[in-house]
Amino acid sequence: MEPACIVLSIDPIIGAIAAGNAVVLKPSEVAPATSSLLAELLPRYVDGSCIKVVEGGVAETTTLLEQKWDKIFYTGNGKVGRIVMASAAKHLTPVVLELGGKCPVVVDSNVNLHVTAKRIAAGKWGCNNGQACISPDFIITTKSFAPKLLESLEKVLEKFYGRDPLRSSDLSRIVNSNHFNRLKKLMDDENVSDKIVFGGQRDEHQLKIAPTIFMDVPLDSGIMKEEIFGPLLPIITVDKIHESFALINSMTKPLAAYLFTKDSKLQEQYEAAISAGGMLVNDTAVHLTNQYLPFGGVGESGMGAYHGRFSFEAFSHKKAVLVRRFAGEAAARYPPYSPAKLKILRGVLKGNLGAMIKAILGFPRGK
């Protein structure tokens, strides 16, 4: 059972029901134990008229997408996100798409090194061993600082998971054999396999891969072209930290962008230059837990947002209602349009306060 899958299902359900909707939930077939648990527990504790759970695979999902819904909320990868959006377009159904992307971590040389390493490790390997949409996907730092950062990450990872991380009960398994083989293929790529500077151990029987760090992999390699969604972490070095901006902007817009620095000017420049669903300075991943912040993507990392009141708004339509009295007729709005009426109307369009008052009072009267 995967706790993250439960949270990703329950969080939007809360917003949808709070906003007065009935919900049909289709859990991921990739996490069958979680799907079965949700199908068992939700009807037990939630009114059956509010929610239905549909289990199954591609066939069931396809059938659901053929129906006409008021809103579709999808969490997953961009490939399926495009299918969801195309199906929704047939009925002009609005969607919220929570996708992923390659979340960058830019590390300046003036940081508290130990704290930085711990927070990167917690956000990467502590979040389901990298299997999270907001997991740090790659690091960018300067050539001169990279060895220090690597050394600190090595010390932190040994403290977190021991010298044999595959034996650690704190290191999550890869969700299934398909994803294990996908990650194995990324590691074994002839262009990156010799770039491993830490880790690399794996156990197919346990579906476990140790925290693995790469140094300066080619930017056109598979590991830098797709979302990793696993325990592999490339470090890319640059001469100057500001060069990271162009590198990030050459890729698709990420769900999250991280920056570690004590330089407030660099922070301001990063915030202005980088388009991302969310941004976190001097930490990773924890912005997800703040219910006062909207959580969502931009561009290929998704659209729409939720969490807290933003979940309520995601499943609501802001319907405008204006009620007027029968008194207080504005004569200038009705034909025939005399020069006096036109003067008032032009003034109203220009935002002239005097013209607005005259219109409200019914001028020109008797005409």
User: What is the spatial distance between Cα 273 and Cα 251, in angstroms, rounded to a whole number?
Assistant: 13
User: What is the spatial distance between Cα 6 and Cα 22, in angstroms, rounded to a whole number?
Assistant: 19
Phi, psi of 150 (to 5 degrees): -60, -45
Q: Which of 98, 103, 127, 227 is catalytic?
A: 98
Q: Give the strand order in the sheet containing 256-260.
A: 196-198, 212-215, 232-238, 136-142, 103-107, 256-260, 278-281
User: What is the spatial distance between Cα 341 and Cα 320, in angstroms, rounded to a whole number?
Assistant: 29
Structure-block tokens of residue 218: 């080619």
Q: Is 50 a catalytic residue?
A: no
User: What is the spatial distance between Cα 238 and Cα 247, in angstroms, rounded to a whole number?
Assistant: 10
Q: Which of 2, 103, 133, 300 is catalytic?
A: 133
Q: Is 133 a catalytic residue?
A: yes
Contact at 8 Å (CB) between 117 and 105? no
User: What is the spatial distance between Cα 154 and Cα 115, in angstroms, rounded to a whole number?
Assistant: 13
Contact at 8 Å (CB) between 171 and 125? yes
Number of helices followed by number of strands (H, E) in the chain: 13, 14
Residues classed as catalytic: 98, 133
